Structure 1
Amino acid sequence: MYSESDLEAAVAAGAISPEAADALRNHVAGGRSAPAVDEEHFRLITGFNDIFVSIAAAILLFALGWIGSSFGMRIEGNGPSPLSGVFVAAAAWGLAEFFTKKRRMALPSILLLLAFVGGVGAAVGMALVLAIGPEATQNNDAIGGFIGSGAALTGALAAWFHWRRFRVPITIAAGAASVVLLIASLISAAVGDVPNKKDILLGFLLLLGIGVFLFAMWWDSSDPRRETRRSDVAFWLHLLAAPLIVHPVFSLLGLTDGNATTAEAIIVLLLYVALGVTALAIDRRALLVSALAYVLYALSSLFREYGAVELNVALTALVIGSALLLLSAFWHTARRGVVNTLPGTLQSKLPVLDRATTTGAPA
Structure 2
Amino acid sequence: MTNPDHPNAASQSETASSARPGDEMLPFLNNFHDIFTTIGVLILFTGLFVGAVQFHDSLNLDQQSVAAESVSLLLLGLIALIAWGLSAILVGRQRRILPGIVLCVVFVGCCGTFLAWLYTSYVMPALTNVDPQTAFDHLSVFNQESVRALLNELDWVLRTWPVIIAAVFVVATAIYYLSFRLPFSGGLLGVALVNLAVCAWLVIDPYSLVVFNPLAGLLMGLTLFFAGVIFDARDPARTTRLSGTGFWLHFFAAPVLLSAAITMALNGVRIDPQAEGVAGMIYFPQGGEDGAAVRAAIVTLMVIAVFALVSLLINRRALIVSGLLTTGVALGVLVNQLGLDGAGVVATTLLVLGGIVVLLGVAWTPVRRVLTAPFPNEGVIARIIPSPVHGHEG
Range with bigger deviation, 265-274 or 308-317? 308-317
> 1:10 and 1:320, CA in 2 relative to 1: closer, same or farther beyond 3 A?
closer
Distance 1:90 1:151, change over 3 A: farther
- TM-score when normalising by structure 1: 0.77
1:27 is matched with which residue? 17
Q: How many residues align?
A: 336
**Are 1:327 and 2:360 an aligned pair?**
yes
Shift in Å at residue 200 of structure 1? 2.4
Aligned to 2:384, the other structure's residue is in SS state coil
Per-residue deviation at 1:353?
A: 0.9
- Contact 2:160–2:203, Cα closer than 8 Å, also in 1: yes
Deviation of the 1:321 alpha carbon:
1.4
What's the counterpart of residue 121 of structure 1? Answer: 112
| Conserved 8 A contact 1:45-1:106 | yes
Residue identity matched to 2:168: T
Aligned to 1:224: 236
Structure 1 residues 25 and 51: alpha-carbon distance in aligned structure 2, compared to 1, 3 A threshold:
closer
The within-5 A match list for 1:78-227 is 81-131=72-122, 132=124, 136=131, 140=136, 146-192=160-206, 194=207, 198-227=210-239
Per-residue CA distance 1:21-75 (angstroms, 9 max, x = gap): 5xx776333xxxx415x4143242531531343124423542575479679x997
Question: Which amino acid counterpart does residue 7 of structure 2 have in structure 1?
Answer: S
- State the partner residue of 2:45: 58
Cα deviation code 1:70-93 (max 9, x no counterpart): 79x997446794334322322222
Q: Deviation at 1:155?
A: 2.1
Shift of 1:159: 2.5
Q: Which amino acid aligns with 1:281?
A: L
Equivalent of residue 272 in structure 1, options 304, 311, 328: 304
User: Aligned partners of 1:209, 1:349: CA distance in 2, in Å?
Assistant: 18
The aligned amino acid for 1:337 is V
TM-superposed deviation, 1:215:
0.9
Distance 1:95 1:348, change over 3 A: closer
Note if contact 1:220-1:230 (Cα within 8 Å) is conserved in structure 2: yes
1-structure distance, mates of 2:62, 2:196? 24
3-state SS of the aligned residue for 1:28? coil
| 2:334 counterpart of 1:302 | yes
Overall identity of the aligned pairs, in %: 24
What residue is the counterpart of 2:7 in the other structure? Answer: 5
Q: Is 58-67 or 116-125 further displaced after alignment?
A: 58-67
Deviations 1:307-349 (A, max 9, x none): 4455334222211211111111111112222222446653342
Structure 1 gaps, min length 5: 12-20, 358-363
* Conservation of the 8 A alpha-carbon contact between 2:38 and 2:102: no
